[in-house]
Amino acid sequence: MRHREILEVKTSGRGLFDVTARVAEVVRRAGPLDGLCHVFVKHTSASLVIQENADPAVLRDLQRFLDHAAPERPAFGPWEHDDEGPDDMPAHVRSMLTHTSETLPVEAGRLLLGTWQALYLFEHRARPHVRTLVVTVL
């Protein structure tokens, strides 16, 4: 049995957006089953991460790390790819360093995340976007 839904996530610019509850609702609608939930983001400048949901400092530190790892103005000179602005290429690098998909276990129609875990959409662009997630429950 397979159940698939498309979710749209509105971001307000760079940062992490908790999508756990929305994905869990898709899993609930799929029925009381044991299996897997696969989530895929259909973009090259956003990603998915499973991270701590208790201390917001974790999310701020992750953002600061990626700001340092893929800055808009790198020490080696300007990025060649800047078609959509100075945050364009850094967003692609940040997406490469994280994940475009995550697979989560499901038991009795519920996500089996740890106590302090949540699934986040990681927006890597400076301006707001609408991101598309494909959620497949198997």
Q: What is the DSSP string of 37-60?
A: EEEEE--SSEEEEEEESS-HHHHH
Which pLDDT score is estimated for 63? 97
Give me the pLDDT at residue 77, please.
Answer: 87
Segment 93-106 shows an average pLDDT of 97
pLDDT of residue 72: 93
pLDDT score, position 1: 74
> How many domains, the chain?
1
**In terms of residue numbers, what domain contains 39?**
3-137
| pLDDT value at residue 138 | 96
| pLDDT tens, position by position, 27-86 | 999 998 899 999 999 999 999 999 999 999 999 999 999 999 999 999 998 999 999 999
**What is the pTM assigned to this prediction?**
0.95
Can you give the CATH number for the domain in which 91 is found? 2.60.120.460
- Where b means 16+ CB within 10 Å and e means fewer, 9-31 reads bebeebebbebbebbbebbeebe
